[in-house]
Amino acid sequence: MSQSKQVLMAVLAHPDDESFGMGGTLALYAARGVEVHLICATRGEVGDVDPEYLKGFGSIADRRESELRCAAGILGLAGVHFLDYRDSGMPGSRDNSHPQALAAQPLDRVAAKVVQLMRALRPQVVLTFDPIGGYRHPDHIAIQRATVRAFEQAGNPDFAADTPPTDPPQRMYFHSFPHGFLKVMVKLMPLIGKDPHRFGANGDIDMTSIAEVSFPTNARIDIHPVLKQKREAGACHASQGGGRMGGGLTSLILGLFDRTETFMRAAPPVAKGEKVEHDLFAAVS
């Protein structure tokens, strides 16, 4: 059965991934009348949260879900759907092996949940992380692999057989950080006394290692018209530092690179000599 409406599905790991990553793209397509859905695998239970942000909330998960719903309203999302797994924490932490941790789940079990939502929502375009999950977070990598598997199996009646196939998604893109931005960050961080091998609030992100990985840019989306919305959505995630970038060097660098969001096209394969896309729905039938 064919459909007339355009639907975009973003499959991510934690509350704030949508705003700090591809939030401009989500807001842009929502503003264009596309039905935009976010699949969030966990509620970010393991994230560090200052006690002041937990006042009035029963748990970190409650706080972060509230922040996500705030951001979703600003971005114009049609729906937020949780897979109800647990945040796995950073590589090597005890949370990696929790029975409900996303990173500890069998691939096909997670993929089946994503397939069920694909069949219910019927997106033509699917977005997720790049193969290293942006910065090698176990949950980012796990949900990226599950999304790829789900995309491949969405039309297979023998996979997640309790939900019969509908129109499978047509295109899949991986969000990627601009390589130039990463290179600039690695070079400038030592100048302000920061170690690029120990980036982030907990010093557990190796920016140098990440900057050595380069993915092709097959789509570049101009998000300037919705940049204010993206920043306001990011500010909803106050417990994760949203809205507190200030006017330092990091904020200046971000300002140079935040007018566009870049993606690698995973499916269909990119033909040799194919030009960079500027509309994720341009070739959708």
The percent of residues in the chain predicted with pLDDT above 70, rounded, is 92
Task: Give residue 3's pLDDT.
Answer: 75
On the question of pLDDT at 45 being above 60, the answer is: yes
Whole-model pTM over 0.75: yes
Q: Is 171 helix (H, G, I), strand (E, B) or coil?
A: strand
Between 95 and 250, name the one with better pLDDT: 95
Helix 227-236 / helix 23-31 crossing angle, nearest 10 deg: 120
Query: Residue 41: pLDDT band by 50, 70, 90 thresholds?
Result: very high
CATH, range 7-178+214-245+259-267: 3.40.50.10320
Domain ranges of the chain: 7-178+214-245+259-267
Task: Give residue 242's pLDDT.
Answer: 83
On the question of pLDDT at 147 being above 60, the answer is: yes
The residue ranges of DSSP E strands in 56-170, in sequence order, are 79-85, 125-129
Instruction: Report, as an integer, the average pLDDT of 120-149.
Output: 96
Query: Residue 2: pLDDT band by 50, 70, 90 thresholds?
Result: low
Q: What is the pLDDT of residues 197-228, one digit of tens each?
A: 777 655 667 778 877 888 999 999 999 999 99
Average pLDDT over the chain reads 90
Determine the Cα–Cα distance for residues 214 and 210; give it in Å rounded to an integer. 8
